[in-house]
Amino acid sequence: MTTTVTLTGTGVPFPSPDRAGPGVLVSHSDVHLQIDAGRSTVMRLAQAGISPHQLSALLLTHLHSDHVSDVADLVHTRWVQDHMHGTGPLPVVAVAGHAPGFVRRVLAANEFDVNVRVQHVQDGPPEVIGHWFDLPDVPAEVWRSPCDRVGVEAVRVRHEPVEQAVGYRVTTPDGVVVVSGDTRVCDEIAALSAGADVLVHEACRSSALAEAVKGTRFETIFSYHADTVALGAMARRVGVPHLVLTHLIPAPTSPEQVAEFEDEVRQGGFEGRVSVGHDLLSVTVGDAAGA
Catalytic residues: 66
Nearest to 66 by CA among 31, 88, 28, 40: 40
b/e for 19-48, b at 16 or more Cβ within 10 A?
A: bbbbbbbbbbeebbbbbbbbbbbbebbeeb
Q: Which phi-psi region, left, alpha or beta, contains residue 39 (left: φ > 0; alpha: ψ -120 to 50)?
A: beta
E strands, the chain, in order? 3-9, 23-28, 31-35, 57-59, 90-95, 128-133, 140-144, 151-156, 166-172, 175-179, 198-204, 242-249, 273-276, 282-284
d(CA 41, CA 104): 19
| DSSP label of 277 | -
